[in-house]
Amino acid sequence: MTLLVAGIVLFIATHLVRPFAPGLRAAAIDRLGKPAFMAIHGIVSLLSAAMMVYGFADARQNAGTMLYHPPAFTAHIALTLMLIASICLVAGFLPAGYIRTKLKFPLLVAIKIWALAHLLANGESYSVVLFLAILAWAVVLRISLKKRIASGQTKLPVFVSARYDVIAIVVGVALYAAIVLKLHELLIGVAPLA
């Protein structure tokens, strides 16, 4: 589980530089230039994601400790939450409809719902470490964004059209269906409907 934990730490550290160490980020941009900084940030982000994926797969093969045994009904709750998370995820990439303006940061909402859903359905030590860490990161990031909004450093999305809500729902449901019916099993090795 060492690789998984190292990947989580690297991912969180990389993604909390902006809100918690803006001076460090600004100094790096001044020294390297914004394109080089963004390229390095992207490479480190991909590296940390790869470490988490491989670390999670390795931990799963080595059968981590069961911290709790989720009741069967929590799988149904997780599936329902993932439908909502899929819609929020898509809404985060579209111009603002009602969903985006009400949630403010629908990508973070999607990540928090995803992590919570997986905590409800999985009790293995490696699952709890991954999903709890990502949930905590998303909560901390949301708090920092709230402070940046209050200080005027970040602006909230402005409503554009309700058609983006329709697109978010239709594409989100399609994404959810693809994940549940095939992609989750193909990529993760676990069929959600099994």
What does the pLDDT look like over 152-186, one tens digit per residue? 888 888 889 999 999 999 999 999 999 999 999 98
Nearest to 92 by CA among 122, 61, 117, 113: 113
Q: Which residue has the tokens 């060492």?
A: 2
Average pLDDT over every residue of 5-16: 92
- The model's confidence at residue 82, banded by pLDDT at 50, 70 and 90, is very high
Angle of helix 106-121 relative to helix 125-150, nearest 10 degrees, comes to 160
Indicate yes or no: pTM above 0.95. no
The yes-or-no verdict on residue 63 having pLDDT over 80 is: no
- The model's confidence at residue 136, banded by pLDDT at 50, 70 and 90, is very high
Exposed / middle / buried, residue 61 (Cβ in 10 Å: 0-12, 13-18, 19+): exposed
pLDDT of residue 167: 97
pLDDT of residue 114: 97
pLDDT of residue 39: 93
Per domain, the residue ranges of the chain are 1-63, 66-194
CA 175 to chain centre: 15
pLDDT of residue 180: 95
Give yes or no for a contact between 120 and 78, defined as CB atoms under 8 angstroms apart: yes
